[in-house]
Amino acid sequence: MRILALIGGSGSGKSTVLAALRNHFNARVAVLSLDDYYRPKSELPVDENGETNFDLPEVINHVDLIRDIDALKRGESISLSTYTYNREVMVSEDITIDSSEWLVVEGLFVMAYPEMLSRVDVLGFIDAPEDVRLQRRIDRDGSERGYSEEEVRYQWKQHVRPADLKYIEPWKERADVIIDNQHHWEIGTQQLIDSMEKSIVS
């Protein structure tokens, strides 16, 4: 099993690219989302104003993440509960993930954990301008998560953007493929698919 790390800042469009990868690889790909490894909300850090900060690597239980990746690499199946963070935590469903030819590990902080360096075969970085990503987040968090625009802008300035600069954007120059998800995302996605296919035969 080979591993693709798929990263990019909030609102960069990881879901769009991920859907295209699923469509191409079908049963040849399994997906792990960092969103399913959030620690309980009671354990998450808060800022100086008492607001929960979801945008730090420590909010993810990366020990369990690495454990599950290694199990899949051994050809085992794993079970986990998916979570959705709105204003409160909602358990969505229990799922089973089977080992496949490719494992896509997607999320903001995939490369923030040193253990990932030796496990990742291909690194894909999804890029979009900050103003575009912010507007996407305003639209998404307003319609899907019940946040006001003021709340989203606060999170962006205090939590999201600092995390971008420290933990995510430095990996752009180290990526195997950079996908421009403002213009013609299909081109970069095809380049990523080609890189993955070549990785299998090399």
**Confidence bin at 202 (pLDDT 50/70/90):** low
The better pLDDT of the pair 63, 94 is held by 63
3-state secondary structure at position 77: coil
Model confidence band, residue 84 (pLDDT cutoffs 50, 70, 90): low
Report the alpha-carbon angle 53-57-62, nearest 5: 125
pLDDT at 14 over 80: yes
Q: What mean pLDDT value characterizes the chain?
A: 92
Residue 41: pLDDT above 90?
no
In this structure, the number of other CB atoms found within 10 A of the CB of residue 168 comes to 22
Which 3 state secondary structure label does DSSP give 95?
strand
Under 8 Å CB-to-CB from 51, ≥6 apart: which residues? 154, 155, 158, 159
Taking only the tens place, the pLDDT of each residue in 188-201 is: 999 999 999 998 76
Which pLDDT belongs to residue 92? 73
pLDDT at 51 over 60: yes
d(CA 130, CA 41): 27
In which band, very low, low, confident or very high, does the pLDDT at 182 lie, cut at 50, 70 and 90?
confident
* CATH class of domain segment(s) 2-201: alpha beta
For 138, the token pair is 């305003």
